[in-house]
């Protein structure tokens, strides 16, 4: 039997910040304490719901439907009604109790543990043809830094020892990207792969680990800060390259 869950009332509450994990150390002879800033912890969101029911049988059916709806093994997208263009990665954190009053209204509270940031539902993909030594501007509309996936594509000939400088972060590949191939830099997963240079259909199974070039990388994985960012491309042999950058804006 199919059951439609129509929420009569839904009240959302949460703190303006995720969990603040900064550490403070008191030092003898020093006024105040010394701050050791730490990354944000989890975000907690509570949603109070009223669910109308007609009788005991419907109450039990909707009780089980709510349980099935909220059961997940991993964090999944949580989209709130007041910001439908964003989502949180969330998982239920409490053992929900549902109570039914004399007016046949089921009341329950859902508590979610979420990643600290809200994510845009839409990824941003931008492709530039860049000359060595030139600067390209990139704008991040979010309020938190984000970790892009950047591809350096040798669309104009071999690219030898390409280097990216994003803001003050330098990323260098000590190798050559052959003509019409590419490398993919994933700042979220801290991986770097070269593009496949063989036919999977004819060679059989493909293990992407075979194409990892992490050992040939110097520098740091780049991030995009809120607001304007600058990207500078350069390479040893001075050819142009195509740069594809993909990222998901995030908000505190």
Report all structural domains of the chain as residue ranges with CATH numbers, in order of start: 9-119 (2.40.30.200), 122-251 (2.60.120.860)
Higher pLDDT, 167 or 59: 167
- Report the distance separating Cα 186 and Cα 167, nearest Å: 17
- Report the distance separating Cα 58 and Cα 70, nearest Å: 18
Write out the DSSP string of 36-75: E------EEEEEEEEEE-SSHHHHHHHHHHHHHHH--SS-
What average pLDDT does this structure show over 151-172? 96
pLDDT at 54: 76
- Report the distance separating Cα 119 and Cα 249, nearest Å: 6
Higher pLDDT, 12 or 112: 112
How confident is residue 16, by pLDDT bands cut at 50, 70 and 90? confident
Condensed to tens digits (0 to 9), the pLDDT of residues 192-246 reads 998 754 443 444 444 555 689 999 999 999 999 999 999 999 999 999 999 999 9
Mean pLDDT, the chain, integer = 86
* Conformation bin of residue 32: beta by default, left when phi > 0, alpha when psi is -120 to 50: left
The sign of the CA dihedral 197, 178, 231, 223 is positive
Give how far the C-alpha of residue 175 lies from the chain's centroid of Cα atoms, to the nearest Å: 29
232: CB partners within 8 A, 6+ apart: 133, 134, 135, 136, 164, 165, 166
Q: Which residues pair with 193 in a beta bridge?
A: 184, 212
pLDDT at 60: 80
Q: Which residues pair with 125 in a beta bridge?
A: 246
- Report the distance separating Cα 198 and Cα 181, nearest Å: 11
- Report the distance separating Cα 191 and Cα 118, nearest Å: 23
Helix, strand, or coil here: 238?
A: coil
Condensed to tens digits (0 to 9), the pLDDT of residues 85-109 reads 999 999 999 888 776 665 566 778 8
Question: How many CB atoms are closer than 10 A to CB 14?
Answer: 16
Higher pLDDT, 81 or 79: 79
**What's the pTM value of the predicted model, to 2 decimals?**
0.79
């Amino acid at each position: 039997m199919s059951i439609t869950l129509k929420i009569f009332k839904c009240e959302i509450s949460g703190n303006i910040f995720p969990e603040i994990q900064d550490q403070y150390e008191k030092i003898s002879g020093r006024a105040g304490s010394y701050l050791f800033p730490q990354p944000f912890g989890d975000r907690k969101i509570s949603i109070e719901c009223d669910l109308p029911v007609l009788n005991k049988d419907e109450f039990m059916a909707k009780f089980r439907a709510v349980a099935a709806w909220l059961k997940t093994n991993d964090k999944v997208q949580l989209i709130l009604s007041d910001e439908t263009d964003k989502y949180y990665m969330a998982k239920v954190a409490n053992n929900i109790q549902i109570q039914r009053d004399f007016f046949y209204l089921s009341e329950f509270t859902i508590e979610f543990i979420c990643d600290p940031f809200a994510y845009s539902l839409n990824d941003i993909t931008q492709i530039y043809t860049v000359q060595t030594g030139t600067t390209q501007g990139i704008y991040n509309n979010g309020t938190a830094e984000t970790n892009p996936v950047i591809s350096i594509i040798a669309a104009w000939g071999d690219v030898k020892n390409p280097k990216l400088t994003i803001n003050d972060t330098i990323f260098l590949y000590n190798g050559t990207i052959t003509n019409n191939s590419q490398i993919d830099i994933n700042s979220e997963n801290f991986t770097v792969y070269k593009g496949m240079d063989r036919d999977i259909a004819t060679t059989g199974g493909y293990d992407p680990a075979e194409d990892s070039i992490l050992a040939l990388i110097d520098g740091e994985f780049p991030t995009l800060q809120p607001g304007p960012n600058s990207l500078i491309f350069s390479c040893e042999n001075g050819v142009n390259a195509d740069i594809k950058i993909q990222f998901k804006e995030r908000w505190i």
